[in-house]
């Protein structure tokens, strides 16, 4: 298998996007954390004001002569940093294990870089789970900076319970 294509996702890709999100979560032993549905993906990514964008990597499906098989994705959105301006935030990036090493990951990163540059972004930010040393080394080798060590930032989250509590404070 040496041919693949990376393209912008379409609404019809939502079942495959959800499948890959769940596979990525399973890779991190976090399957139960995925609460999103195909309906959520459709509503949030393919309406008038999408909250996310997605690239899809696909290969010819040998089982279907005219079909393709989705083997990777990158979900991203644009945000704003008051110190440096617009940036592309890479939320999820995953290539199915048997298709790694074929250049799909580097091609997705190339396309994301093109999107960031043509959209006027100053950088691309993303998180890597602390135990994933392989990915950390891969990104550092490509020139990424580890801001958690260089700039000393901590990532925090307020879950819905805490948001509701704060929203109702007097």
- Kindly provide the b/e burial profile for residues 97-111, where b requires at least 16 CB atoms within 10 angstroms of the residue's own CB: eebeebebbebbbeb
Query: How much is the average pLDDT of 147-158?
Result: 80
| 3-state DSSP assignment of residue 70 | strand
pLDDT in tens, 87-131: 999 999 999 999 999 999 999 999 999 999 999 999 999 999 888
Q: How many of the other CB atoms lie within 10 Å of CB of 122?
A: 13
Residues 6 or more apart whose Cβ sits within 8 Å of residue 23: 94, 96
Are 125 and 100 in contact by the 8 Å Cβ rule? The answer is no
Q: What is the pTM of this model?
A: 0.89
**Domain spans of the chain, in order of start:** 5-126
Query: How much is the average pLDDT of 161-169?
Result: 90
Residue 48, token pair as written in the block:
């008038």
CATH superfamily of 5-126: Gcn5-related N-acetyltransferase (GNAT) (3.40.630.30)
pLDDT in tens, 4-37: 999 999 999 999 999 999 999 998 888 899 999 9
Query: How much is the average pLDDT of 131-145?
Result: 90
Are 87 and 121 in contact by the 8 Å Cβ rule? The answer is yes
pLDDT band at residue 1 under the 50/70/90 scheme: very low
- Has residue 2 got a pLDDT over 70? no
- Has residue 65 got a pLDDT over 70? no
Instruction: Look at phi and psi of residue 101 and say left if phi exceeds 0, alpha if psi is from -120 to 50, else beta.
Output: left
E-state strands within 23-134: 53-60, 68-81, 85-95, 124-126
- Has residue 47 got a pLDDT over 80? yes
């Amino acid at each position: 298998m040496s041919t693949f294509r990376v393209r912008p996702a379409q609404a019809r890709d939502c079942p495959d996007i959800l499948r890959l999100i769940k596979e990525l979560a399973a890779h991190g032993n976090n399957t139960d954390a995925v609460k999103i549905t195909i309906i959520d993906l459709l509503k949030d990514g393919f309406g008038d004001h999408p909250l996310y964008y997605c690239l899809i990597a696909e290969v010819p499906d040998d089982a279907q002569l005219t079909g393709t098989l989705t083997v990777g994705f990158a979900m991203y959105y644009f945000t704003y940093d008051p110190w440096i301006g617009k940036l592309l935030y890479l939320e999820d990036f995953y290539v199915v294990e048997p298709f790694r090493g074929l250049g799909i990951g580097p091609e997705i990163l190339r396309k994301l870089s093109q999107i960031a540059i043509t959209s006027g972004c100053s950088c691309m930010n993303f998180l890597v789970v602390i135990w994933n040393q392989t990915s950390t080394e891969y990104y550092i080798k490509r020139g990424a900076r580890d801001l958690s060590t260089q700039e000393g930032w901590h990532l925090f989250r307020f879950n819905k319970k805490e948001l509701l509590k704060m929203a109702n404070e007097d």
